[in-house]
Amino acid sequence: MPTTSVFAPAKINLSLHVIGQRTDGYHLLDSLVAFAPVGDMVSFAPGRGLSLRVSGPEAAGVPVDRSNLVLRAAELAGGSDLAFHLHKALPAASGIGGGSSDAAAVLRGLGAALDPEALTRLGADIAMCLTPHSQRVQGIGEHCARVQLPPLPALLVNPRIEVATPAIFKALSQKTNAPMPAQLPQFNEARACIDWLATQRNDLQAPAIAQAPQIGALLDVLAALPGCHLARMSGSGATCFALFSTQSDLQSAEAKLRATHPQCWIASGVLGDQTELARPSACH
């Protein structure tokens, strides 16, 4: 029986501007998003009913019932009689879209075409994860427009704190902040792109640090790594990223951080287009 496997890459909010709020409470965003070659793996094969098994280094505490977005996405796509296996490598509730990317992987694997509004009802980040390339995301996550970014060597670090997204949005004192420029600059190389990103923001970073000061401490550590040009939090946290202009700077920084911060979840890779990596593959 064929098993289909789909890679679910980590999504990184290089910037995340909160520019307003809808009447239903959801926040309007203007965010530049890129994907990492680091992620979960969703596999499925014919089964009886819908079932889910979870394994991998980050499997602890991940639900296997219908509260898991894998099964909810499968249901929404009309899938039935499928046995799913989720290999969890991304920490849960950590601002890098693990659950959303898993759900998007299910939809890619099943070849389901759902409208972005329905997807945002399942999870605001799912629409962007359906197309794992660099993009500008607006609305509450349903408007996704591809952008070209140079490959960005990045270190991803989670301080092992779970952050509740609704609480961080709620704690945001200013809901109407400036968007990114209407026309984004074009960049050919990493350093210029990172220098421009440094002029942008993650508006959720300050409220997240107020709730979990360890995030601020981690960002200070990342910013002080040799070769780091920008350290910022992704999504509502707590995962932070550090950007470098070369892979060798990234490798040295990663070795250093692994030695000093063994308690953290650490991953690295070049942010960019993960479309090929995330294409469903079948094996018998």
CB-side exposure of 96: number of CA atoms within 13 Å?
31
Nearest approach, Cβ of residue 22 and ligand C5P (Å): 8
Stretch that binds ligand C5P, among 53-61, 164-172, 192-200, 254-262 (CB under 6 A): 164-172
Among 169, 187, 241, 244, which residue sits at the site for ligand C5P (rule: CB under 6 A)?
Answer: 169
Nearest approach, Cβ of residue 76 and ligand C5P (Å): 14
Residue list 10-49, contact with ligand C5P (CB under 6 A): 26-27, 29
Nearest approach, Cβ of residue 29 and ligand C5P (Å): 5
Instruction: Tell me the C-alpha distance between 81 and 199, whole Å.
Output: 49
First to last CA, the chain: 6
Active site residue 175: no
Active site residue 65: no
Phi-psi region of 189 (alpha: psi -120 to 50; beta: other; left: phi over 0): beta
Judged by CB, which is closer to ligand C5P: 211, or 245?
211
Angle between helix 69-76 and helix 98-110 axes, rounded to 10 deg: 30
- Residues 6+ away with beta carbon under 8 Å from 273: 35, 132, 133, 134
By the rule CB under 6 A, 108 interacts with ligand C5P: no
Judged by CB, which is closer to ligand C5P: 142, or 249?
142
Neighbouring CB atoms inside 10 A of 138's CB total: 18
Q: Which residues bind ligand C5P (CB under 6 A)?
A: 26-27, 29, 123-125, 140-141, 165-166, 169
Known catalytic residues are 11, 125
